[in-house]
A = this chain, B = another copy of it.
Amino acid sequence: MTSTLYKKILPLLISVVSTLHSGAQDTLRLTDLGYIPGSRANATGFVNKALARCKTMAHPVLVFPKGRYDFWPQYAAEKMYYESNTDVIPLRRCPILIEGQQNLTLDAQGADFVYHDRMQPITIDGSKDITIRGANIDWDIPLTAQAEVMAVTEDHIDLAIDTRESPYIIEQGKLVFVGEGWKSAWWDAMEFDRNTRLVVPRTGDASCLGGDFSGYKAEELKYGTVRIVFPFKRRPAVGNMLVMRHSARDHAGVFVVNSKNITFDHLNIYQTGGLGILSQYSENLTFRNVQCVPNPAKNRWFCGHDDGLHVSNCKGKIEVDACKFQALMDDPINVHGTSVQVIDKPRPGILLCKFMHPQSVGFNWAQYGDTIRFIENETMTTIAKGTVRSFRPIDAEHFEIAFRDSIPAALQKGDALENLTWAPEVWIHDSWFGSNRARGILVSTPGKTVIERNVFESSGSAILIAGDANEWFESGAVTDVLIRDNDFRDPCMTSPYQFSEGIISIYPEVPKLDHKTPFHGRIVIDHNQFHPYDYPVLYAKSVADISFTNNTITRSERFEPFHARKNMLTFEACLGTTISGNKMVGNVLGRDVKLIGTPVKGMVLEKRQGIRVVE
């Protein structure tokens, strides 16, 4: 063998040998530990053992051979976690806890993970380079129920409930679902159309049952058929499905915290007890072929209990690729930070702050070196920026934060802080946003944001860019958003929800609006297809630079218009505005741009579009 050939072959040989070696040593099957898929036995203890073994491996691959794996609370780790936008409870149950792990792949190979009672299917804590692949996450007895509307009269509705999936009792005249270790009263319903699987138009948060029905009386006609007696102000249609909301938002489907480089691939989340995949204080997240949809193997009309992908106070890059969302009971995607309120300035260079929303408390909100924005509360303008020296929690709601430099005197009690370091770049593409409760994408991050090649059939706004320091305390102001090549179909805006002022709604809550100090930065809406049946396509408030260009707006006649806003485009307190290259097809409603507190001077409006200005 010549020396040259040797040089060429040696690395190849090393590579082959090392692949074989690591493959043989680092792959662990749950069945190797004695678990029998389909046995219905509790897999939790086996997973605990498997994950402990994975810690001794360099590149562990934990394989769940295809089959059914049941998870029960027994042997589940119970951890004290403050989870963003989630009820505070003493301990979260974590049957699959990936903690302090590196380079792990959990490869479920299409296995069914069947959960029981209230729990958090997968938890990733303090870990790095983790891939979760191929699991179907569901419950036999889910934490949401459904009922077919069998009969409707002026004073009652008869519902058929699958008692195998959602056993219930009638307790003091109320419909109360009873699961594995819990009892949970019904408190709301969402109506889905039998044929289209869409949220029935003009229901959503307007209530398919016409508002407060808490005085109802439930009667059992036979087990599985319940009569709900009440003079409902609105009544659902016979044959439609009611998703019966009950239970609390107490566990995420997957919880990612203090972790980095986390990939979800071909993961089906059919049910959760809260947010689908909740990531907080983590860096670089990839969601590829994640489906939050009703389990297609079951006659299910609902998916998870709340949001799909919820990204709170993360950084690095967030990519959502080829994901699907359908029949969620809250927004499919929400990316945001958490702003906090200044309570006191106890000593120079130190602020006492408070978490304002009861579901978002207890975070390690800032770290040494983080950049913090000081925000004036009324105008939401930036007073200054500071760099963190130290962070000290006081209790779940309060913390003290110290800065390297002096704090501007202008910052007052009641003003807000936003952490600019924990603000990711976002790329959401090639995904489908079906008919869910609420909106499609909520995004509030100063990081570069691209939303492209998606299809939206949201029942509210397709995209909401909010940001506030007064109600939800979800920061922050965007600086660079590109929304292009998306298809906004006509189900968008068929039902009313908070802040849904257009198919794209830019709605920061700024108490004192001034177009000269806009809250949001640059937003480009380019080359999209819109299919509105109603007036509002775009509503934009307090944006420094908004452009709506090269979009095609095609009127749909499928639904009756009802929105109070009677303009196609609305700019409120915006600074730089551009409308050009847009095309309208059919009897598009409004064909106008309404300016509120927005100067017409300096606006770029291409004439040949036929869009008139309404001031």
The smallest C-beta distance from A49 to any residue of chain B, in angstroms, reads: 14
Which residues 107-126 in A have Cβ within 8 Å of B in the complex?
A: 116-117
CA distance A181 to B40 in the complex (A): 5
CA distance A182 to B183 in the complex (A): 22
Q: Is the CB of B179 within 8 A of A40?
A: yes
Which residues of B have CB within 8 Å of A163? 164
Query: Is A39 on the interface with B (CB-CB < 8 A)?
Result: yes
Query: Is A72 on the interface with B (CB-CB < 8 A)?
Result: yes
Which residues of B have CB within 8 Å of A181? 40-42, 70, 72
The residue in chain B whose Cβ has the minimal distance to the Cβ of A164 is: B163
Which residues 567-582 in A have Cβ within 8 Å of B in the complex?
A: none
Query: Is A587 on the interface with B (CB-CB < 8 A)?
Result: no
0/1 interface trace, chain A 307-338, chain B, CB 8 Å (1 if under): 00000000000000000000000000000000
Which residues 555-573 in A have Cβ within 8 Å of B in the complex?
A: none
Query: Is A180 on the interface with B (CB-CB < 8 A)?
Result: yes
0/1 interface trace, chain A 495-522, chain B, CB 8 Å (1 if under): 0000000000000000000000000000
Q: Is the CB of B183 within 8 A of A38?
A: yes
CA distance A164 to B141 in the complex (A): 12
Query: Is A368 on the interface with B (CB-CB < 8 A)?
Result: no
The smallest C-beta distance from A271 to any residue of chain B, in angstroms, reads: 18
Query: Is A414 on the interface with B (CB-CB < 8 A)?
Result: no
0/1 interface trace, chain A 69-86, chain B, CB 8 Å (1 if under): 010111010000000000
Query: Is A229 on the interface with B (CB-CB < 8 A)?
Result: no
Residue in contact with A74 in the complex, picked from B74, B178, B182, CB distance below 8 Å? B74
Query: Is A223 on the interface with B (CB-CB < 8 A)?
Result: yes
Count of interface residues, chain A, beta-carbon cutoff 8 Å: 22
CA distance A182 to B39 in the complex (A): 7
Residue in contact with A39 in the complex, picked from B41, B164, B183, CB distance below 8 Å? B183
The residue in chain B whose Cβ has the minimal distance to the Cβ of A93 is: B74
Which residues of B have CB within 8 Å of A178? 40
Residue in contact with A180 in the complex, picked from B38, B76, B167, B180, CB distance below 8 Å? B180
Residue in contact with A40 in the complex, picked from B70, B164, B183, CB distance below 8 Å? B183
Q: Is the CB of A164 within 8 A of B72?
A: no
Which residues of B have CB within 8 Å of A40? 178-179, 181-183
Q: Is the CB of A72 within 8 A of B73?
A: yes
CA distance A272 to B182 in the complex (A): 23
CA distance A182 to B76 in the complex (A): 18
The smallest C-beta distance from A174 to any residue of chain B, in angstroms, reads: 13
Which residues 34-58 in A have Cβ within 8 Å of B in the complex?
A: 38-42
Which residues of B have CB within 8 Å of A41? 181-183
CA distance A528 to B310 in the complex (A): 77
The smallest C-beta distance from A272 to any residue of chain B, in angstroms, reads: 20
Which residues of B have CB within 8 Å of A180? 72, 116, 180
The residue in chain B whose Cβ has the minimal distance to the Cβ of A40 is: B183
The residue in chain B whose Cβ has the minimal distance to the Cβ of A182 is: B40
Which residues 442-459 in A have Cβ within 8 Å of B in the complex?
A: none
CA distance A265 to B39 in the complex (A): 38
The smallest C-beta distance from A222 to any residue of chain B, in angstroms, reads: 12
A-B contact sample (15 more), CB < 8 A, given A39-B182, A40-B179, A72-B73: A38-B183, A40-B181, A41-B182, A41-B183, A42-B181, A70-B181, A72-B72, A72-B180, A72-B181, A73-B73, A74-B74, A74-B76, A116-B180, A163-B164, A164-B164
Q: What residues of chain A have their CB less than 8 Å away from a CB belonging to chain B?
A: 38-42, 70, 72-74, 76, 116-117, 163-164, 167, 178-183, 223
Pairs A-B, 5 closest by C-beta atoms: A40-B183, A73-B74, A74-B74, A42-B181, A40-B178
6 chain-A/chain-B pairs, Cβ below 8 angstroms: A41-B183, A42-B181, A72-B117, A72-B180, A73-B73, A164-B164
